[in-house]
Amino acid sequence: MRIAFLGFGLISGSIARALRASPDPAWSRARLVAWSPSGRGPARASVDGVIDHAAGTARDALAGADLVVLGAPPHLVPAQIEELAGPLRDALHPAAVVTDVASTKSLIVAAAERAGLRFVGGHPMAGREQAGYQAATADLFVDRPWIVVPAHGAEATDIARVEALAWACLARPMRLGAAQHDDATAGISHLPLIASAALVEAVAGTTRGEAPGWELAVELAAGGWTGMTRLARGDAAMGAGIAATNAAALVTRLRAYRDALDGWLAELERDGGPDAARLEARFAAAKARLEAPPGEGPDGGGG
């Protein structure tokens, strides 16, 4: 098995590390070749013994590959696909399966279908705030869902190869449609990313200036602030790529979030002052919703 990584940051690097640590010799002994525009991640991984070869060009990396992993930020993956279908097509083995690790799927899978690639989209549901190969860990995917989104025309053996990659990284492959994936991740991943950045803008300020009171607030900040702003500390380019390639689903979630915030504003601006009992009920309802089993209401009933 020869695996080519085009783009080699946190996720691709963690896949490579996970494969090297795999108890399955078919994966731990796979030949891993990586290329990235800067070359820094592959060069360091080669020195670490995590990959077998740091390729000088994407074409070099593709030579003889059975599986190609596209590791660019989401908004750049369609361009990678266009290159594979165009100037790099002759370097791609006809039986090679192409997958990706991007956080959005609809635009990417559609691009692969137009290009006629043997493509099975992928999204390991794991990450860290730190970016780049230097942050990669072998255990990043352990017991985490790995979403698998086959393009039209992908054969059963193609899908099996990508699912086997997920299993080799100790993840749990889960098949979804592209729209299903993007709608779900817009709520549980992409909306929190925007909300975290917006919280920073509201409390700390923006590039246009510091928000009033921030100097004192930052001295008092503790776990709540740290937890809520964790996502805003991540890779800005990756965040931009996610938002740009899942805009429609994200807009729907943002509007729902805005409606919820308007509801809180109405409670706090109630004539006669806020009603503590009503506020407590709302906090309690949110907690109960989180603790209810999926598919059941907070009271244990359906819906």
Output b/e per residue, 52-79; b: 16+ Cβ within 10 A: ebbbeebeebbeebebbbbbbbbbbbbe
Sign of the Cα pseudo-torsion (258, 262, 264, 265, in order)? positive
pLDDT tens-digit map of 126-178? 988 788 999 999 999 999 999 999 999 899 999 999 999 999 999 999 999 99
Q: Which residues contact 42 (CB under 8 A, 6 or more apart)?
A: 5, 8, 34, 35, 36, 51, 54, 55, 133
Sign of the Cα pseudo-torsion (69, 71, 74, 76, in order)? negative
pLDDT-derived band at 303 (thresholds 50, 70, 90) equals: very low
Has residue 43 got a pLDDT over 70? yes
Has residue 301 got a pLDDT over 70? no
Lowest mean pLDDT among 83-87, 140-144, 275-279, 294-298: 294-298
pLDDT tens-digit map of 90-127? 999 999 999 999 999 999 999 999 999 999 999 999 98
Has residue 276 got a pLDDT over 80? yes
Burial class (CB in 10 A: 0-12, 13-18, 19+), 32: buried
Amino acid at 83: E
Domain boundaries, the chain: 2-176, 180-269
What percentage of the chain exceeds 90 in pLDDT? Answer: 92
Sign of the Cα pseudo-torsion (111, 153, 31, 61, in order)? negative
Has residue 38 got a pLDDT over 90? yes
Q: What is the arithmetic mean of pLDDT over 202-226?
A: 95
Task: Provide CATH code, domain 180-269.
Answer: 1.10.3660.10
pLDDT-derived band at 15 (thresholds 50, 70, 90) equals: very high
Question: In which residue are the tokens 């509801």 written?
Answer: 263
Q: Report the 10 Å Cβ neighbour count for 288.
A: 13
**Among 147, 72, 85, residue whose Cα is nearest residue 112:** 85
Euclidean distance between CA atoms 269 and 256, whole angstroms: 20
pLDDT, the chain, mean: 95
Q: What's the pTM value of the predicted model, to 2 decimals? A: 0.89
Write the DSSP symbol of residue 232: G
100 near 79, Cβ under 8 Å?
A: no
Euclidean distance between CA atoms 121 and 146, whole angstroms: 10
Question: In which residue are the tokens 């359906």 written?
Answer: 302
Angle at 40 (CA atoms; ends 140, 75), nearest 5 degrees: 65
pLDDT tens-digit map of 50-96? 999 999 999 999 999 999 999 999 999 999 999 999 999 999 999 99
What are 239's two structure tokens? 């965040």
The pLDDT score that the predictor gives to residue 130 is 83
Q: Which CATH number is 2-176's, of 3.30.420.40, 3.40.605.10, 3.40.50.720, 3.40.630.10?
A: 3.40.50.720
Has residue 289 got a pLDDT over 60? yes
Euclidean distance between CA atoms 111 and 117, whole angstroms: 9
